[in-house]
Amino acid sequence: MVSVIIPTYNGGDWLLDTISSCLDQHGVSLEVIVVDDASSDDTPERVASAYPQVRLIQQASNSGSGAAGRNTGLELSRGRYVKFLDHDDRLEPGSLSLEVAAAEKHQADMVMSRWGDVRTDAQGEPMEASRRAFIPPEPERLLEAILLGEKVPYTAGVLYRRSFIADQLWNSQLTINDDFDWFCRNALRTERIIRLDHVSYYWRLHPRSIQGSQQFNAQAFVESVLIHNQIYSDIVVTLSDQQRLTAHFRRLLAAQLYRDLRVLARFAPARCWRTLRRIQELQPGFQPDAALEANRWFRMVSAWFSLKGSLRLYRWLLLLPDQFRFRGGQIRYFQA
């Protein structure tokens, strides 16, 4: 049996459609657990009325985190396998049976599948021209892919063996990037990971979703970078404990932290010095190359002086934007 766990807050029509995509799965038994995070609308009543077979858990107060709901659902789950969904995800037909069959055949702890996203119009209908699908990295180079910053599966892109994650918790202190944190922590704990070629689900981007928004402020972006920074710092500790922190991985980790450092130097300079120390601990004398640092002037200055001194100069010599837009899946800067 597969336990499908869906945290929600004011999920409404999106949630009902997500549940429908679960119950339409064939060739596999499942339980759907919806954890309502104290919705302020009639979401719980609509779920109970439309799908009485769903296990509906209502939190007494709002946690502000989907991670807390996933932890609750995991604790209550009874399936041999677990799939986590967000309330605006939609499973593709037959995806669960394919993933379960692969997990059973290979005794896998994690089954990664392709995933996608699609923008929706004002009526919630998918805009087919915007549909995209992504391929997860090969399992044998998964760690390197994480350290290179390649795309890895989002929340619903992995089927987990329940016994593998039963004693793990999502970080409920994170309001963003909690899925990346969860994936990395678990991917570093096992080699029993396989990849399938089918698309498991589509994430529907709409005005209320984070990625569906065309604009967000610098403060939110800095928060995301700080969390990303901490996740990679935790990876350093894990790899060190596992005696896997090779010179190659040190270089890749230093490069990831340097990308974070550049954002912090722009928008939160007081927060960048800890990251700088981490970079220097990973790779003493670290200097960014052209692949990391497009600004030739900055590369020259950092070669002449210390990286720390270069960052101090950088703060004063560049006029920097403080807002961002999403265009074509990329964050682009613009002047406020």
Hey, what are 110's tokens?
């994690």
Q: Give the integer Cα–Cα distance in Å for 69 and 181.
A: 16
For residue 215, give the nearest of 122, 322, 324, 121 by alpha carbon. 324
For residue 236, give the nearest of 183, 287, 290, 283 by alpha carbon. 283
Read off the pLDDT band of 20 (50, 70, 90): very high
- 168-179: b or e for each residue (b if 16 or more CB lie within 10 Å)? eebbbebbbbbb
Fold for 2-205, please state it.
Spore Coat Polysaccharide Biosynthesis Protein SpsA; Chain A (3.90.550)
> In the 8-state DSSP scheme, what is residue 213?
-
pLDDT at res. 209: 58
State pLDDT tens for residues 153-204. Answer: 989 999 999 999 999 999 999 888 999 999 999 999 999 999 999 999 998 8
* Cβ contacts of 327 within 8 Å, gap of 6 or more: none
pLDDT at res. 145: 94
Sequence spans of domains, the chain: 2-205, 216-323
Q: Give the integer Cα–Cα distance in Å for 107 and 192.
A: 7
Q: Is pLDDT of 91 > 60?
A: yes
Q: Which residue has the higher pLDDT, 326 or 299?
A: 299
